[in-house]
Structure 1
Amino acid sequence: MPNYSKYIAIIFLLLVLPACATTSTTVVDEEVVTNKQPMATYKSLVIRNFELNRELYTSVPEGRMGERERRYAQMPAEFAEQIERYVRSRHTYQDVARDGQVTGTTLVLKGRFTRIGRFRISITATLYDGATGQEVAYFRQTLWDVFDTSETLGSLAREVADFIDRIQYK
């Protein structure tokens, strides 16, 4: 009787190893829209810098921060600029600004980085009604297998812009 265990082991390795070898960015998200009026009634968007606590990327005093830590400190402004660029390119709003005037037809985007590490970046983004200050939509995003933070910021900014675009008809 032939020994099939060797062949079974080879087939098993051929099936399992490709799944282990590939690296892909897995996106896990949550979207909630709580607004009572249609999102399309908003005419402008104001984008605030996302909060980033220093404890997420360094434990050294500011005077001893290295180049890497200084780049992390610049992430909120860079991220807001990228979101602004992507939202503007879609022409969803008449006015998109970083520090614009808030009116009754304005949405205000605020958020924070909840996790930053070599392998994962997580954010939460919240849209607020300009007239009442109430939350109208919430978005949570995690990107896994992160090796290049600047490339990941671009992907996250696109995801936030996609979310803002998707909810226009809710």
Structure 2
Amino acid sequence: MNKPIPLDIEIPLDAKRYIISETDEKGKITYCNDYFIEVSGYSQKELIGKPHNIVRHPDMPSIVFKLLWQTISSGKNINAVVKNLAKDGRYYWIFTEFEIRKDTDTGKIIGYHASRKNISKHVIEIISDLYARLLEIEKHDSIDASEKYLLDFLQEKGDDIDFSNIMEEIHRFY
């Protein structure tokens, strides 16, 4: 008899492998590599055509995704640290590089490409504290209050903050 996998256990990632996915412009998965399938625990059939938030961990504050979508839908590439949830309840932290895919004839955004790799424990410790605080604010107040906290937090870190690319600014300080 197989032992059940304990929930809320971190999945160790191979530092030499990338988790790759592509989505359409609305965020539905159109491609996923074998490593994404392996780590997430979903089959290719379960992933293709589904919203990418199928792997969203409840520890992730909404403001992170709001800012991420604002950035990529405006045509800018972005990097982000994300905690994802596997099908079996385990999780994995990743550093994600989001790239815009455009129609070569029209220049219109047709989707997004994401390459994900493992991230150092030091960065996870720091960013998870910030994310936990943002999530707490969202639970007790609002996403707008969470965004204000984040902007104030970044303002305290330096005077030359690029508020048009807040996700990049978060990572600049870590």
Fold shared by both chains (TM-score > 0.5): no
Higher relative contact order (CA 8 A, sep 6+): 1
Which one has a bigger Cα radius of gyration? 1
The structure richer in strand per residue is 1
